[in-house]
């Protein structure tokens, strides 16, 4: 009997996307081919405790996994505990879970998608699914992502950015700068956040004040973008050195824009796959998606989001997500399903790509 690779699925985390991570992880676990892989589970609580879990997968989305894990009296790792001893033997003993071959960190947002935990895996010399430290960190920070987009010549919305301290010091001056640069409405976003957490659309000065204060609750850096009257389209990318792009899908949000509520709460937003766009527009989106993926040093997977102008079909890149949602209503797996790659096969490919990247990096070190 061939050896089953043991995959550690990590979920939860301290970010504002903790709940979405749990839903995504449960979906991943239920779709892994158990003929080929053995699954271990590890949750990170909102307080930062690391809890190995071996219970019912259905308890992960509800949050009940945490209580069950604590009751089983497994080892608990807190932020202040010494992880150095852990790292020395992490390849064979990750949080009390033996013989891990690869980690699938189904973690969204800060401390999970921003290079933080990726650095931990690098130190521990463990293969992991998704982008490395640099790609994760760059893609998580919208301001720096836009700098790269500008450098490689991909069209995007005009934008400004400000620090939390600047906003606190003189929000009126900040609003004057914004109004001098853009017409209303504008979008205001935390630079480091995902799932549209902290994002607002402001149509006047009062709304702009509220939006700036709201976004600064989630990050110390806030970005303001001009409004583009565009359709929201997305493209999935898969691969390492030779990535491929999926077909293109469109999101029709239930709200004024595709915010957190429209994505995860009211279930009224629609995914249209494939997007009803001219062929040359679709190919431009796909080309830009791969170009952005490579420029930002991504690996494994990413979902790249765009606006297509409703009148001219001009394409503008919006952002790139290095660990997109894997829920039953998420665009990333749905795009690959429509492109001919099933959910289970997609997970297998991502695990293979993680090992491939690890082996490639190890060869460079050894050489």
DSSP class of residue 4? P
Q: Is 76 exposed, middle or buried (0-12, 13-18, 19+ CB in 10 A)?
A: middle
Domain with CATH 3.30.470.20 in the chain: 139-155+229-346
pLDDT number for residue 82: 41
* pLDDT tens digits for range 268-291: 679 999 999 999 999 999 999 999
Nearest C-alpha neighbor of 223 from the set 174, 263, 180, 262:
174
Q: CATH for 159-226, among 3.20.20.450, 3.40.220.10, 3.30.1490.20, 3.50.50.60?
A: 3.30.1490.20
Name which CATH class applies to 5-128: alpha beta
CATH of region 139-155+229-346 = 3.30.470.20
Question: Lowest-confidence range among 121-125, 283-287, 312-316?
Answer: 121-125
Instruction: Say what the pTM is.
Output: 0.88
Question: Lowest-confidence range among 72-81, 94-103, 131-140, 222-231?
Answer: 72-81
3-state DSSP call for residue 300?
strand
3-state DSSP call for residue 157?
coil
- Give the Cα-Cα-Cα angle 243, 244, 248 (nearest 5 degrees): 135
Domain with CATH 3.30.1490.20 in the chain: 159-226
17: pLDDT confidence band, cut at 50, 70 and 90?
confident
Question: Lowest-confidence range among 85-89, 106-110, 214-218, 340-344?
Answer: 85-89
Question: Lowest-confidence range among 48-62, 98-112, 197-211?
Answer: 98-112
79: pLDDT confidence band, cut at 50, 70 and 90?
very low
pLDDT number for residue 328: 77
pLDDT over 80 at 193, yes or no: no
Domain with CATH 3.40.50.20 in the chain: 5-128
Of residues 320 and 260, the one with the higher pLDDT is 320
């Amino acid at each position: 009997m061939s050896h089953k690779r043991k995959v550690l699925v990590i979920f939860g985390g301290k970010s504002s996307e903790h709940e979405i991570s749990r839903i995504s992880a449960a979906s991943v676990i239920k779709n892994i081919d158990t003929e080929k892989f053995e699954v271990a589970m590890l949750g990170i609580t909102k307080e930062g405790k690391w809890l190995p879990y071996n219970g019912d997968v259905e308890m992960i989305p509800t949050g009940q996994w945490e209580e069950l894990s604590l009751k089983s009296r497994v080892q608990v790792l807190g932020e202040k505990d010494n992880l150095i001893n852990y790292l020395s033997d992490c390849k064979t003993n990750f949080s009390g879970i033996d013989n891990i071959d690869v980690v699938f960190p189904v973690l969204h947002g800060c401390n999970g998608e921003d290079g933080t935990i990726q650095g931990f895996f690098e130190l521990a010399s463990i293969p992991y699914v998704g982008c490395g430290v640099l790609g994760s960190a760059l893609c998580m920070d919208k301001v720096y992502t836009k700098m790269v987009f500008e450098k490689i010549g991909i069209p995007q919305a005009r934008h400004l950015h400000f620090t939390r301290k600047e906003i606190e010091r003189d929000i009126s001056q900040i609003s004057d700068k914004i109004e001098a640069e853009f017409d209303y409405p504008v979008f205001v976003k935390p630079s480091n956040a995902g799932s549209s957490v902290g994002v607002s659309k402001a149509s006047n000065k009062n709304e702009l004040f509220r939006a700036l204060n709201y976004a600064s609750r989630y990050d110390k850096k806030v970005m303001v973008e001009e409004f583009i009257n565009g359709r929201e389209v997305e493209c999935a990318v898969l691969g390492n050195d030779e990535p491929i792009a999926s077909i293109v899908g469109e999101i029709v949000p239930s709200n004024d824009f595709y915010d957190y509520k429209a994505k995860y709460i009211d279930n009224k937003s629609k995914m249209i796959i494939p997007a009803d766009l001219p062929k040359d527009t679709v190919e431009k989106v796909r080309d830009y998606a791969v170009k952005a993926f490579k420029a930002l040093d991504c690996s494994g997977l990413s979902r790249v989001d765009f606006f297509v102008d409703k009148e001219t079909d001009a394409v503008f890149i919006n952002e790139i997500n290095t660990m997109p949602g894997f829920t039953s209503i998420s665009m990333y797996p749905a795009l690959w399903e429509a492109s001919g790659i099933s959910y289970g096969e997609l997970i297998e490919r991502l695990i293979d790509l993680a090992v491939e990247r690890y082996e490639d990096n190890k060869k460079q070190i050894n050489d």
